[in-house]
Amino acid sequence: MSSTIAVEYPGKVKSCESIGIVGTKYFTFAHSPYELTLDSGEKLGPVTLAYETYGKLNDHRSNAILILHALSGDAHAAGFHEGDEKPGWWDEMIGPGKAFDTDTYFVICSNVLGGCRGSTGPSSIDPVTGKPYGVDFPTITIKDMVKAQRHLIDHLGIEKILCVMGGSMGGMQALQWAASYPERVRSVIPIATTLKHSPQQIAFNEVGRLAIMADPDWQGGRYYGRTVPSKGLAVARMIGHITYMSDISMSEKFGRRFRNGKIPSKFGAEFEVEGYLHYHGDNFVRRFDANSYLYITKALDYFDLSNGKTLFEVFKGISAKFLIIAFKSDWLYPAYQSKEILKICKLAGIEATYCEINSTYGHDAFLLEIEEETHLVRHFLKKVFNGYAVDDAHGK
């Protein structure tokens, strides 16, 4: 870690174990004629959401935390799937004794609408045609993703969520939750995110989309059952990875070092940084659908929480507490965007805490600065869950 916290938890350190073996569940709703009405006015149904839960919902149903994933994430946030060697994408934060302590809280994570990891998206079968939707899948927005999640939360019997939290696109969903359903959210933790996508953020996404659409295998989005546009999707992912890192983190990780072994061609990947990008590009193709990438990045670009109103109007109805986290070296979602969230919270009289973590990891920091995030999240959640925590913190 780039910085360490000079803070101890006397008598509070618990052994941090994995939650163990977990499985993905599926919830299907919006059957005809009760289809989900989307932001665009189009209807979609039935809709399936893949989700996982960790810990137990308490008798008062007051300990539910909704974790919202980023662009390429999925419902598998913690623990291990049977036979897997790698845990879920945020296993270091979710589990017994961890920031989202599953001994205390009931943690939910679902794959977004439009995704390709078990939830309904462009690679799902259109019940009308019996074939994958492809580009006939309707346009979706962050608001639509949240609307779909609300059905899942209803299904789980949870009236009020203790905390909605996420980084990057997950942070946008968290903000949207507070804006769409202010009465159902007690606290919000937006990390490395924004109130609206900036031209620079849109620009990077557009290059990624063009790379996919320029791949001859994309076939106007109708590639299912044939060769997938793996080259285009890999390039899109490589662009993404460049924006997730920082100049310093790249220098530290790769320097100008060359890769070992024979270079296959004159312009092959000679440098370590090239190898890294190729590896992640190729890996991504195996687990992600190119059309989902197009739809989800569009949802990101459309995101503007104000949605035709003033931000003050959006925030004035919110009573949830906010913990806003940004990272110094994040140039994709720069700290000034998080400060704008803080600013509107203050204007609207919302209780908010803001911390800009001095990390060198760039945007990736939200998945890496576990120690700092754990400290902030643990104490913030305790305050929201138990009320004011001063006595506790003094060890009395």
Partner 1 sequence: MMLMVNDTIREDYRIILDWIKDGSSVLDLGCHEGELLSLIVKKKNAKAQGIEIDEQAIYKCVELGLSVSHQDIDNGLSEYGDGSFDYVILNQSIQQVKKPDVVLKESLRVGKEVIIGFPNFAHFRARFQIFFRGKTPVTPSLPYEWYETPNLHFLSISDFMDYCQKQDIRIQRRAFFCNDRMTGMTNILPNLLAHTGLFLISK
Report the chain's terminal Cα–Cα distance, integer Å: 31
Catalytic residue among 2, 119, 124, 168: 168
Give yes or no for residue 383 binding partner 1 (CB under 8 A). yes
Displacement of CA 175 from its chain's centroid (Å): 12
> Which region holds residue 134: left if phi is over 0, alpha if psi is between -120 and 50, else beta?
left
* Spatial contact of 283 and 226, defined as CB atoms under 8 Å apart: no
Query: H or E element: which one contains 62?
Result: none
Binder of partner 1 out of 61, 259, 316, 375 (CB under 8 A)? 375
Binder of partner 1 out of 25, 61, 278, 382 (CB under 8 A)? 382
Q: Is 110 in the active site?
A: no
Query: Which residues ranging from 71 to 130 are in contact with partner 1 (CB under 8 A)?
Result: none
Q: Is 265 in the active site?
A: no
Q: Is 363 in the active site?
A: yes
Residue 393, C-beta contacts closer than 8 angstroms, at least 6 positions apart: 379
Query: Which residues ranging from 26 to 55 are in contact with partner 1 (CB under 8 A)?
Result: none
Q: Smallest distance from the beta carbon of 45 to partner 1, in angstroms?
A: 42
Give yes or no for residue 355 binding partner 1 (CB under 8 A). yes
Q: Smallest distance from the beta carbon of 348 to partner 1, in angstroms?
A: 10
User: In terms of residues, how long is the chain?
Assistant: 396
Query: Which residues ranging from 316 to 345 are in contact with partner 1 (CB under 8 A)?
Result: 321, 323, 339, 342-343
Give yes or no for residue 6 binding partner 1 (CB under 8 A). yes
Counting DSSP H helices and E strands in the chain, the numbers are 12, 12
* Spatial contact of 157 and 151, defined as CB atoms under 8 Å apart: no
Query: H or E element: which one contains 324?
Result: strand 321-327
Q: Nearer to partner 1 by C-beta: 59 or 391?
A: 391
**Dihedral of CA 176/177/182/186: which sign?**
negative
Q: Nearer to partner 1 by C-beta: 65 or 335?
A: 335
Binder of partner 1 out of 28, 129, 251, 358 (CB under 8 A)? 358
Q: Nearer to partner 1 by C-beta: 256 or 396?
A: 396
Q: Nearer to partner 1 by C-beta: 231 or 379?
A: 379
DSSP 18: -
* Other CB atoms within 10 Å distance of the CB of residue 11: 7
List active site positions: 168, 330, 363
Give the residues lining the site for partner 1 (CB under 8 A): 3, 5-7, 321, 323, 339, 342-343, 346-347, 351-358, 372, 375-376, 379-380, 382-383, 388-390, 392-393
